């Protein structure tokens, strides 16, 4: 059993938390508004869920999921994240985040920008390319399920990638290694692997996606 801390508990964060609990993990939720605003969510998720501050969630997690707007990166608690495996689910959107020169010029990926704020963590990009309703409905926890879907991950640390792969497999997905953080743009907003392979948002159940389709989508991404 793993304890998963969450910094941000919106649609993607709460969906990952739900899948994690179903797989037997503990979750510690946090957001920018305080743990009291997550009391109902934690109660709904059951006894393996609790609400905390972001500092507490970061400290508690064996793995920590960061799922916040990119503009919030400077507010992350760097000290308790030191040495931790951090899953970055975040997508850059200038209309929400404002313009960030390093991202607009493509000199950095958003995950590399995140790493600059939490330099002692081990960042792995994951879950940023799938609609939260598809993430929930396409999970296939049974080992060997024929319609198990794949998710891309990118990162620079082999141990962190291994930990994230084990976690993702436990909650019902398989993994395609998409390379280092510098290549994580291949799964960013608007790329072929972002959303489309799993079906339109209007189809809330989504469609299973195999390894070959994810690899092909990553390979056809352009900047």
Domain with residue 113: its CATH number is 3.40.50.720
Tell me, what's the pLDDT at 141?
87
pLDDT digits (tens), the chain, 223 positions:
799 999 999 999 999 999 999 999 999 999 999 999 999 999 999 999 999 999 999 999 999 999 999 999 999 999 999 999 999 999 999 999 999 999 999 999 999 999 999 999 999 999 999 999 999 999 998 878 899 999 999 999 999 999 999 999 999 999 999 999 999 999 999 999 999 999 999 999 999 999 999 999 999 999 9
Tell me, what's the pLDDT at 121?
98
What is the tally of structural domains in the chain? Answer: 1
Q: Which domain holds residue 105?
A: 3-219
Tell me, what's the pLDDT at 4?
98
Number of other CB atoms surrounding residue 144 within 10 Å: 6
d(CA 201, CA 211): 21
Tell me, what's the pLDDT at 1?
76
* pTM > 0.85: yes or no: yes
d(CA 172, CA 136): 9
């Amino acid at each position: 059993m793993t304890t998963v801390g969450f910094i941000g508990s919106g649609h993607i964060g709460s969906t990952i938390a739900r899948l994690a609990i179903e797989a037997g993990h503990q979750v510690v939720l946090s957001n920018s508004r305080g743990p009291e605003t997550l009391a109902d969510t934690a109660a709904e998720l059951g006894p393996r869920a609790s609400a905390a501050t972001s500092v507490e969630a970061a400290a508690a997690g064996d793995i920590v999921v960061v799922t916040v707007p990119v503009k919030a990166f400077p507010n992350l608690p760097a000290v308790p994240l030191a040495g931790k495996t951090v899953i970055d689910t975040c997508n850059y959107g200038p209309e929400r985040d404002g313009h960030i020169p390093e991202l607009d010029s493509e000199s950095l990926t958003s995950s590399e920008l995140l790493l600059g704020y939490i330099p002692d963590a081990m960042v792995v990009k994951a879950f940023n390319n799938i609609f939260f309703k598809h993430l929930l409905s396409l999970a296939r926890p049974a080992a060997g399920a024929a319609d198990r879907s794949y998710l891309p991950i990118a990162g620079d640390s082999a141990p962190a990638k291994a930990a994230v792969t084990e976690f993702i497999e436990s909650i019902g997905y398989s993994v395609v290694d998409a390379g280092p953080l510098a290549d994580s743009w291949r799964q960013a907003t608007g790329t072929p692997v972002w959303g489309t392979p799993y079906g339109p948002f209007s189809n809330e159940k989504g469609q299973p996606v195999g390894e070959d389709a994810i690899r092909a989508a990553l390979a056809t991404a352009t900047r």
